[in-house]
Amino acid sequence: MKLLPSCGKNRVDARLSLFELVDLCRTCHHLAPFTNFNGKTLAAIARGLIDRLDLRADREAVVRSLVGHIVAGVAPDQEDQAFESFCNDFQ
C-alpha cells in the first residue's frame, strides 16, 4: 500500500482486528499522508468499515460516531473505552 508508507507497512498485509484497524486509521490521520489533506478522509474510511458490520441502525450510528471521534483524535477516554468494549463484545 504505497499511499500510506509511514503508517506501518508491516501491518498492511496482516489481519487486523477492528480495534487495530481504527487505530491504524487514527495513526495515519495524524501523520497527514495526503498532499491535499482533508482531516475527514481517514475518519470516513473507518466509518465505512462500520457500515459493513451488519449492526442494528441505532447501534451502527453510535459506533460510527465513536470511530469518527477516535480517528479524528477528539474522543475522550470514555469513548475510547466504549469502542474497545464494543470490539471485545463484537468478536
Q: How far apart are CA 10 and CA 79, in angstroms?
A: 28
- Number of other residues whose CB lies within 10 A of the CB of residue 23: 19
Give residue 46's pLDDT: 87
Instruction: Name the pLDDT band for 81 (thresholds 50, 70, 90).
Output: very high
Helices (H) and strands (E) in the chain, counts: 5, 0
Q: Per-residue pLDDT tens for 7-38?
A: 555 555 677 888 988 988 888 887 776 656 56
Amino acid at 13: D
H-run or E-run covering 64:
helix 57-72
Is the confidence at residue 6, as pLDDT, over 70? no
Q: Per-residue pLDDT tens for 41-58?
A: 888 888 888 988 989 999
pTM equals: 0.76
Backbone angles phi, psi at 62, to 5 degrees: -65, -45
